[in-house]
Amino acid sequence: MRLLTGATSAADDVFAAIDRERMPAHVAIIMDGNRRWARERHLPAVEGHRRGIASLREATRFCRDWGISVLTVYGFSTENWKRDPREISFLMDICVFFARHELAELNRNGVRVNVIGDYHALPPGCVEALDDMIAATAGNTAMVLNLAINYSARSELTKAARAMARDALAGTLDAGAIDDAVVRSYLSTAAFPDPDLLIRPGGEMRLSNFLLYQLAYTELWVTPVYWPAFSRETFAQAIVEYQGRQRRFGGM
């Protein structure tokens, strides 16, 4: 994994610098900075989360418009349960709001929604709303929006190891034949290519237990822009810098 800082100045027309022939197939985003955005504006944290929904809408539109076929966003981690119960309650409400109110646009734009993570552990209202959204968008083919909800990469890897062990004991998996392809097939992202680009708004320089196996050769782009202020122009800048890199996947 190589690091891009996101500190370069934007071109006068950053969109014109994008090469449509070299777009990443899969972009992952850690949606970070909602609370800091709100704090700096003397607003409650919930306002940052509410504004973050608008940023997700614009990011999805950007991917649809520019031919990025998979967008995976980190919405709620297993560690987020440690937050203030009132904030968690609002996040659950936001989850339901997004599932109900964004559905028409997602269908209009041909976006299929998939959820990774143990989302069935969420409150029943959230589970129902997410299940309905998954079912209602199942036939869409323009792109996939992966929502990582109640997600932990370490838990994902632990579950994959347990599943492989069970299958090996049952005789349906040859333990000696386990390789990268087999491991990938047991992950929640098995149907998708690994992310080409990871974007982290908010300036933090860590992965936060997100897609640890899948990000092995992903390009990382960090920007100080908080997620609620993340725009199509910010996304375009990330793409331009990504396209300026030579990916070697560990080779020369």
d(CA 107, CA 71): 16
Q: Choose the catalytic residue: 12, 19, 65, 80.
A: 80
100: phi then psi, degrees, rounded to nearest 5: -85, -45
How many beta carbons lie within 10 A of that of residue 28, not counting itself?
26
Active site residue 107: no
- Tokens (6 digits) for 190: 């098995």
- Tokens (6 digits) for 79: 């560690």
Active site residue 32: yes
Q: Are 212 and 154 in contact (CB under 8 A)?
A: yes
d(CA 68, CA 85): 36
Where is 219: in which H helix or E strand? strand 219-222
Q: Choose the catalytic residue: 12, 13, 32, 179.
A: 32
- Tokens (6 digits) for 91: 């996040």
Residue found by looking up tokens 């297993």 in the block: 78
Q: Are 124 and 157 in contact (CB under 8 A)?
A: no
Residues annotated as part of the active site: 32, 80
